[in-house]
Amino acid sequence: MIRMLLPLIVFAGLLVLLIFGLRTADQREIVQSPLVGKPVPEITLPGLNDPETTYSTAELIGEPYIINVWGSWCWACREEHPYIDRLGREAGVPLVGFNWKDEREDALRWLNRFGDSWSFHMVDFEGRAAIDLGVYGAPETYLVDHRGVIQHKHIGPIDATVFEDLMRRIVQMRAEADS
Protein backbone atom coordinates (compact mmCIF):
# COMPACT_ATOMS: atom_id res chain seq x y z
CA MET A 1 0.00 0.00 0.00
CA ILE A 2 2.75 2.41 1.01
CA ARG A 3 4.74 1.41 -2.09
CA MET A 4 1.77 2.39 -4.25
CA LEU A 5 1.32 5.71 -2.48
CA LEU A 6 5.02 6.63 -2.45
CA PRO A 7 5.09 8.27 -5.91
CA LEU A 8 1.98 10.23 -5.00
CA ILE A 9 3.57 11.44 -1.76
CA VAL A 10 6.75 12.48 -3.58
CA PHE A 11 4.64 14.25 -6.19
CA ALA A 12 2.65 16.09 -3.52
CA GLY A 13 5.91 17.12 -1.84
CA LEU A 14 7.24 18.50 -5.11
CA LEU A 15 4.00 20.36 -5.67
CA VAL A 16 4.20 22.00 -2.23
CA LEU A 17 7.83 23.00 -2.93
CA LEU A 18 6.91 24.50 -6.30
CA ILE A 19 3.96 26.47 -4.96
CA PHE A 20 6.09 27.74 -2.07
CA GLY A 21 8.77 28.73 -4.59
CA LEU A 22 6.27 30.63 -6.74
CA ARG A 23 4.81 32.42 -3.72
CA THR A 24 8.19 33.65 -2.52
CA ALA A 25 9.60 34.41 -5.98
CA ASP A 26 9.01 38.16 -5.61
CA GLN A 27 10.93 38.36 -2.37
CA ARG A 28 13.84 36.38 -3.71
CA GLU A 29 14.46 38.85 -6.50
CA ILE A 30 15.21 41.50 -3.91
CA VAL A 31 18.67 41.21 -2.49
CA GLN A 32 18.67 42.32 1.13
CA SER A 33 21.43 44.78 1.78
CA PRO A 34 24.07 43.72 4.31
CA LEU A 35 24.34 47.43 5.19
CA VAL A 36 21.03 47.49 7.08
CA GLY A 37 21.89 47.75 10.77
CA LYS A 38 25.34 49.14 9.99
CA PRO A 39 26.55 52.74 10.01
CA VAL A 40 25.96 54.57 6.76
CA PRO A 41 29.27 54.80 4.85
CA GLU A 42 30.86 58.22 4.78
CA ILE A 43 29.92 59.69 1.44
CA THR A 44 30.96 63.16 0.34
CA LEU A 45 29.54 64.41 -2.94
CA PRO A 46 28.84 67.69 -4.72
CA GLY A 47 25.33 69.10 -4.85
CA LEU A 48 23.06 69.08 -7.90
CA ASN A 49 21.74 72.64 -7.99
CA ASP A 50 24.90 73.85 -6.25
CA PRO A 51 27.92 71.95 -7.65
CA GLU A 52 30.36 73.99 -5.55
CA THR A 53 28.80 72.81 -2.30
CA THR A 54 29.79 69.40 -1.00
CA TYR A 55 27.49 67.35 1.14
CA SER A 56 28.61 64.59 3.45
CA THR A 57 26.75 61.91 5.35
CA ALA A 58 29.06 62.73 8.29
CA GLU A 59 27.38 66.13 8.66
CA LEU A 60 23.95 64.55 8.91
CA ILE A 61 24.61 62.57 12.07
CA GLY A 62 22.43 63.76 14.95
CA GLU A 63 19.00 63.49 13.38
CA PRO A 64 17.23 60.85 11.35
CA TYR A 65 17.09 61.31 7.59
CA ILE A 66 16.04 59.65 4.35
CA ILE A 67 18.27 58.95 1.36
CA ASN A 68 16.40 58.49 -1.91
CA VAL A 69 18.33 57.21 -4.92
CA TRP A 70 16.91 58.51 -8.18
CA GLY A 71 17.81 59.40 -11.76
CA SER A 72 16.03 61.22 -14.55
CA TRP A 73 16.48 58.06 -16.67
CA CYS A 74 14.64 55.97 -14.11
CA TRP A 75 11.03 55.30 -15.02
CA ALA A 76 10.00 53.95 -11.64
CA CYS A 77 11.27 57.18 -10.03
CA ARG A 78 8.46 59.04 -11.80
CA GLU A 79 6.02 56.49 -10.50
CA GLU A 80 7.04 57.03 -6.89
CA HIS A 81 7.39 60.81 -7.22
CA PRO A 82 3.99 61.67 -5.65
CA TYR A 83 5.07 59.75 -2.55
CA ILE A 84 8.45 61.48 -2.50
CA ASP A 85 6.50 64.75 -2.52
CA ARG A 86 4.56 63.57 0.50
CA LEU A 87 7.70 62.35 2.29
CA GLY A 88 9.25 65.77 1.76
CA ARG A 89 6.20 67.48 3.29
CA GLU A 90 5.15 65.00 5.95
CA ALA A 91 8.21 63.09 7.17
CA GLY A 92 9.66 65.99 9.16
CA VAL A 93 13.22 64.77 8.56
CA PRO A 94 15.71 65.71 5.82
CA LEU A 95 15.03 63.96 2.53
CA VAL A 96 18.36 63.61 0.74
CA GLY A 97 18.27 63.04 -3.01
CA PHE A 98 21.01 60.78 -4.32
CA ASN A 99 21.13 61.56 -8.03
CA TRP A 100 22.70 58.45 -9.51
CA LYS A 101 24.42 58.07 -12.89
CA ASP A 102 22.61 61.03 -14.38
CA GLU A 103 23.48 64.15 -16.36
CA ARG A 104 23.18 67.45 -14.54
CA GLU A 105 21.01 69.07 -17.21
CA ASP A 106 18.66 66.11 -17.48
CA ALA A 107 18.32 65.91 -13.71
CA LEU A 108 17.52 69.62 -13.37
CA ARG A 109 15.00 69.46 -16.21
CA TRP A 110 13.37 66.44 -14.57
CA LEU A 111 13.07 68.28 -11.24
CA ASN A 112 11.61 71.31 -13.00
CA ARG A 113 9.00 69.17 -14.62
CA PHE A 114 7.98 66.96 -11.70
CA GLY A 115 8.83 69.11 -8.70
CA ASP A 116 11.64 69.04 -6.18
CA SER A 117 10.59 68.06 -2.66
CA TRP A 118 14.00 66.82 -1.58
CA SER A 119 15.96 68.82 1.01
CA PHE A 120 19.01 68.76 -1.24
CA HIS A 121 20.65 66.47 -3.77
CA MET A 122 24.02 64.80 -3.86
CA VAL A 123 25.23 63.83 -7.30
CA ASP A 124 27.08 60.64 -8.10
CA PHE A 125 27.54 60.76 -11.85
CA GLU A 126 30.33 58.18 -11.75
CA GLY A 127 28.54 55.70 -9.55
CA ARG A 128 31.54 55.18 -7.25
CA ALA A 129 29.83 56.34 -4.03
CA ALA A 130 26.76 54.28 -4.91
CA ILE A 131 28.89 51.13 -4.69
CA ASP A 132 29.76 52.01 -1.08
CA LEU A 133 26.07 52.44 -0.35
CA GLY A 134 25.31 49.08 -1.98
CA VAL A 135 22.97 50.66 -4.54
CA TYR A 136 21.94 48.30 -7.25
CA GLY A 137 18.99 49.94 -8.87
CA ALA A 138 16.93 53.09 -8.77
CA PRO A 139 14.77 53.99 -6.98
CA GLU A 140 16.04 52.95 -3.58
CA THR A 141 15.13 54.54 -0.27
CA TYR A 142 17.22 54.32 2.91
CA LEU A 143 16.19 55.33 6.41
CA VAL A 144 19.11 56.43 8.57
CA ASP A 145 18.65 57.04 12.31
CA HIS A 146 20.15 59.84 14.42
CA ARG A 147 23.22 57.72 15.23
CA GLY A 148 23.90 57.35 11.51
CA VAL A 149 22.85 53.69 11.35
CA ILE A 150 20.89 52.47 8.32
CA GLN A 151 17.63 51.20 9.80
CA HIS A 152 15.82 50.21 6.66
CA LYS A 153 16.23 49.98 2.91
CA HIS A 154 13.43 49.85 0.41
CA ILE A 155 14.27 48.72 -3.12
CA GLY A 156 11.93 49.75 -5.91
CA PRO A 157 9.28 52.46 -6.19
CA ILE A 158 7.34 53.66 -3.16
CA ASP A 159 3.61 52.94 -3.34
CA ALA A 160 0.82 53.61 -0.84
CA THR A 161 1.65 50.57 1.30
CA VAL A 162 5.38 51.24 1.31
CA PHE A 163 4.73 54.90 2.09
CA GLU A 164 2.72 53.99 5.19
CA ASP A 165 5.44 51.57 6.28
CA LEU A 166 8.17 54.17 5.77
CA MET A 167 6.20 56.83 7.67
CA ARG A 168 5.68 54.44 10.59
CA ARG A 169 9.43 53.73 10.74
CA ILE A 170 10.28 57.43 10.44
CA VAL A 171 7.97 58.35 13.33
CA GLN A 172 9.67 55.66 15.39
CA MET A 173 13.13 56.94 14.48
CA ARG A 174 12.14 60.49 15.40
CA ALA A 175 10.79 59.33 18.76
CA GLU A 176 14.04 57.49 19.43
CA ALA A 177 16.08 60.54 18.48
CA ASP A 178 14.07 62.75 20.85
CA SER A 179 14.30 60.44 23.86
Residues at the interface with another protein (CB under 8 A): 29, 31-35, 101, 126-128, 130-137
For the bound state, the minimum distance from the C-beta of residue 135 to another protein, rounded and expressed in Å, comes to 8
Whichever of 19 and 131 has its CB closer to another protein, that residue is 131
CA distance 32 to 48: 29
**What contacts 105, CB < 8 A, 6 or more positions away?**
none
Listed residue (133, 106, 129, 136) closest to 45, CA to CA? 129
Supply the minimum distance, in Å, between the C-beta of residue 74 and another protein. Answer: 11
Q: Which helix (H) or strand (E) holds 162?
A: helix 160-178
Nearer to another protein, 91 or 133 (CB): 133
Task: Give min distance, CB of 38 to another protein, in A.
Answer: 9
Question: What's the closest the beta carbon of residue 23 comes to another protein, in angstroms?
Answer: 19
Choice between 117 and 141, CB closer to another protein: 141
Q: Single out the residue of 93, 100, 96 nearest to residue 76, CA to CA.
A: 100
Nearest to another protein of 35, 61 (CB atom): 35
CB distance 47 to 55 below 8 Å = yes
